[in-house]
Amino acid sequence: MDAEVQSAIREEVRGAVMSSQNQMLDHIDTLITSKLGTAIQTQREISETQMGKITQDILQHDAYKFNRKSCEDQFKFNTKVTGKLREADAVLESGNIPDARVKISEGIDLIKHRQKLVKMADSSDIGWKLVSEYVANPLAEDSEDEKRINRAYSSANRKIKAEEKKKQQQRRRF
């Protein structure tokens, strides 16, 4: 009887040890899979962000020569917005919604700023010259934005008048 009891006890212990080992292996497998999955997603997000920046750099340093400065500026702006949206897309794929919202918000801010510049150029009789003067002086804060616009307008007007004066003087010489 002792042999039968000892055999039953051994089988019970062996079963308990096997069950414990299987549970431990399952936990280790789950842990490794989750850590590896997180690392792969993080790496994918980083590579997508880098690819977006590389693509943006390539597009900005394109060999194409623009005939108009405004077209070149619009092209560069569109490239920036496209880069932000691609970064947001890559972040969304990895499941990081707060970071994706930040990237989308940055893209929206770029569009809002560009729309402001377009309206400014359209409302002025000197057009994009006003915008170039406005953008050239980025030191003012938002609270002084109206003063900054007025100074840019005055400066652009003075430059246009000076150019016209030079043209008139050159015509008189001939």
pLDDT tens over the chain, length 174 residues: 577 888 888 888 888 888 888 888 888 888 888 777 777 767 777 777 777 677 666 665 666 777 777 777 877 888 788 877 877 877 777 777 888 788 888 888 888 888 888 888 777 788 788 887 777 666 555 657 767 777 888 888 888 888 888 888 887 776
Residue 63 is predicted with a pLDDT of: 67
Question: Residue 156: inside a domain, yes or no?
Answer: no
Question: Residue 113: inside a domain, yes or no?
Answer: yes
- How far is 150 from 68, CA to CA, in rounded Å? 25
Question: Residue 16: inside a domain, yes or no?
Answer: no
Question: Residue 146: inside a domain, yes or no?
Answer: no
Residue 99 is predicted with a pLDDT of: 80
- Per the structure, the count of domains in the chain is 1
CA distances from 91 to 48, 95, 167 (A): 8, 6, 54
Question: Are 40 and 75 spatial neighbours (Cβ–Cβ below 8 Å)?
Answer: no
Question: Residue 19: inside a domain, yes or no?
Answer: no
**Which domain does 85 fall in, by range?**
44-123
Question: Residue 91: inside a domain, yes or no?
Answer: yes
Q: Is the pTM of this model over 0.75?
A: no
Residue corresponding to tokens 């569109």: 78
Question: Residue 94: inside a domain, yes or no?
Answer: yes
User: Please, which residues have CB within 8 angstroms of residue 136's CB and are 6 or more apart in sequence?
Assistant: 152
Question: Residue 105: inside a domain, yes or no?
Answer: yes
